Amino acid sequence: MKELLSIRNFKAYYQTSSEEVRAVDGISLDLNEGEILGIAGESGCGKSTFSISLSCLFPPPLKYISGEIFLDGIDITKLNTQEIRKSILGPKISFIPQSSMNALNPTIRIRNFAIDIVKQHEPKTTRENIIHRVIERFESLSLPKDVLNRYPFELSGGMRQRTLVILSTIMNPEIVIADEPTSALDVSSQREVIELLKIMVKKKIMKSLIFITHELPILRQIADGIAVMYAGQIVEIGSVSDILFNAHHPYADVLMSSMIVPEKGMREKNLPSVSGTPPDLRHAIKGCRFADRCPEFKKDCREKDIEMVELTKGSFVRCIHPLRTKK
Ligand SMILES: Nc1ncnc2c1ncn2[C@@H]1O[C@H](COP(=O)(O)OP(=O)(O)OP(=O)(O)O)[C@@H](O)[C@H]1O
Ligand SMILES: [Mg+2]
């Protein structure tokens, strides 16, 4: 399988004159063609910041600190804003940001969003050609083309989100990053969005997908692999079945078991089975970031920073006393 994206020890912090929030603090991962990677973790662990950072545009106060993001072998952290806008955003990486469904300007017809998106990259393509291309895309995905003549508020939530998915991917990006694209939807609309994204990967409209969600049933439906984030870092990456049922990091283990029986409003609460809250990302943390809350805590967990270790092929954990290693 071809490797599309390779991230190495990447850090991006929110920096103001008075404080620094270490929201993304040393992330490494690889993404292959055809792969759907789910990202899970408690509110505030840095999922959205990580996804925004992948554009390498860093809207202030977010700042690039260090590390590399290789896309097709090129380190895009070294590109300038103009190069990113011209050759990365759209054709290489496309975003479906958190809460973007409600951000569509209600006074603009869907067809005009499509024209704007394509014109940014292909200013000479005619409106007719663009509309023709978009109609073909809607039809190939079995969606009604008359959506193009509607305003966003005329569409149901599910149809609006599916339309947004199609508009965001009209330039056939290699990688799509979807941040909680189903969180405001009812279960049947969620399923439609999931199916659409899966079909688009299968048809190679996009080569791979990073899907951020709080909802375990959705990860089970869509993802091939899962990365679990905690306090600005990935603590475990592995196949869906490994992470869901055989997690090695104690945080991944409690997160997954708490997700298996989702409680109403759980997202705003602490994890039910462990006490305490995630650490304050404004301060440097020595040793394991989950140490204060970890049911498996041992003295050496706080002695030095913990690196990711490969347990089996494709399965990495950031823990010096991982669970289930003898299995
Ligand atoms: N503009 C900002 N300035 C300073 N700190 C920020 C800013 N935006 C987010 N943060 C902080 O960065 C950390 C990571 O936030 P982020 O939104 O990436 O988390 P998340 O995992 O996406 O959460 P959620 O699940 O709620 O969407 C949090 O501590 C948050 O308070
Ligand atoms: Mg978020």
Tens of pLDDT, residue by residue over 54-83, are: 999 999 999 999 999 999 899 999 999 999
pLDDT at position 272: 60
Domain assignment present for 117: no
- pTM (2 decimals)? 0.93
For ligand 1, the distance from its centroid to the CA atom of residue 240, given in whole angstroms, is: 25
Residue owning tokens 């990495």: 316
Q: Per the structure block, which two tokens stand in for 151?
A: 């305003």
pLDDT at position 275: 77
- Residues of the chain falling short of pLDDT 70: 259-273, 325-327
Q: Of ligand 1's atoms, which has the minimum distance to the CA of residue 21?
A: 5
∠ at Cα 46 (44, 47), nearest 5°? 105
Domain assignment present for 126: no
**What's the domain count of the chain?**
1
Whether residue 247 contacts residue 236, with contact meaning beta carbons closer than 8 Å, is answered with yes
pLDDT at position 263: 46
pLDDT at position 266: 46
Domain assignment present for 144: no
pLDDT at position 85: 92
Domain assignment present for 78: yes
Atom 24 of ligand 1, residue of closest alpha carbon: 43
Domain assignment present for 311: yes
Domain assignment present for 167: no
Domain assignment present for 137: no
- Which of 15, 39, 45 gets mutated to test ligand 1 (max ligand atoms within 8 A of its CB)? 45
Domain span at 221 = 3-105+175-317
Q: Of ligand 1's atoms, which has the minimum distance to the CA of residue 43?
A: 25
For ligand 1, the distance from its centroid to the CA atom of residue 77, given in whole angstroms, is: 21
- What distance lies between CA 237 and its chain's CA centroid? 14
| 233-239/74-75 β-pairing | unpaired
CA nearest to 101, candidates 179, 170, 157: 157
Whether residue 131 contacts residue 139, with contact meaning beta carbons closer than 8 Å, is answered with no
3-state DSSP assignment of residue 213: coil
- What pLDDT digit, counting tens, does each position of 165-193 carry? 999 999 999 999 999 999 889 999 999 99
Instruction: State the chain's maximal CA–CA distance in angstroms.
Output: 67
CATH number at residue 194: 3.40.50.300
- Tell me the HSE value of 293 on the side-chain side, using a 13 A CA sphere: 21
Return d(Cα 102, Cα 23) in angstroms, integer: 25
For ion ligand 2, residues whose CB falls within 5 Å: 47-48, 98
pLDDT at position 267: 46
Is any atom of ligand 1 closer than 6 Å to the C-beta of 232? no
Domain assignment present for 128: no
